[in-house]
Amino acid sequence: MGLDWRSSNIRGGIVACTGKAFCKYAQAHTKRHALELGQYLEKRIQLDQPVNIHLTGCPHSCAQHYIGDIGLLATPVKVNGESVEGYHVFIGGGFGDNRAIGRQIYHGLSFESMMPAILGMLRAYLDHREAGETFQIFSMRHDLKTIQEIFEEEKV
């Protein structure tokens, strides 16, 4: 049935709103993208602690993209003159004792180009973090320009 019995620090941290399947406000198929993104990342990287990735289909933010370690807000994106589904990308959100609003790091990436960008972000986190550091603390430790440069170095 495609259900997994193992815990996963990638898929276990993914949250998606209803998306285009059932919501008239949605700009993307967030649930389908969540599954595809989880499968894509799990084939390429392993995390020793969860990184929460929140995909939300419109600014109503039912999946609370502003408080994910990585937050994705759907938006139409032009690729070769055609409109495709894509996302704005935020980093560093959190809740509870770590409450914070994510900062936007990428503007309007198509879903296809966003997947390798997120892989690069996670690789950069593993390569540059301090011992035990969460993705949120790692991303908050740098200003946006610096962390963009770190991510670009690891871009796939």
61: helix, coil or strand? Answer: coil
Closer to ligand SF4 by CB, 27 or 136: give it: 27
Q: Which of 8, 9, 61, 98 binds ligand SF4 (CB under 6 A)?
A: 61
Q: Which of 51, 62, 72, 105 binds ligand SF4 (CB under 6 A)?
A: 62
Shortest Å distance, C-beta 65 to ligand SF4:
9
Closer to ligand SF4 by CB, 58 or 117: give it: 58
Asked whether the beta carbons of 20 and 26 are under 8 A apart, the reply is: yes
Q: Which two tokens stand for residue 31?
A: 């649930």
Closer to ligand SF4 by CB, 11 or 65: give it: 65
Q: Determine the size of the site formed for ligand SF4 (CB under 6 A).
A: 12
Closer to ligand SF4 by CB, 58 or 147: give it: 58
Which residues here bind ligand SF4, judged by CB under 6 A? 17-19, 23, 25-26, 56-58, 60-62
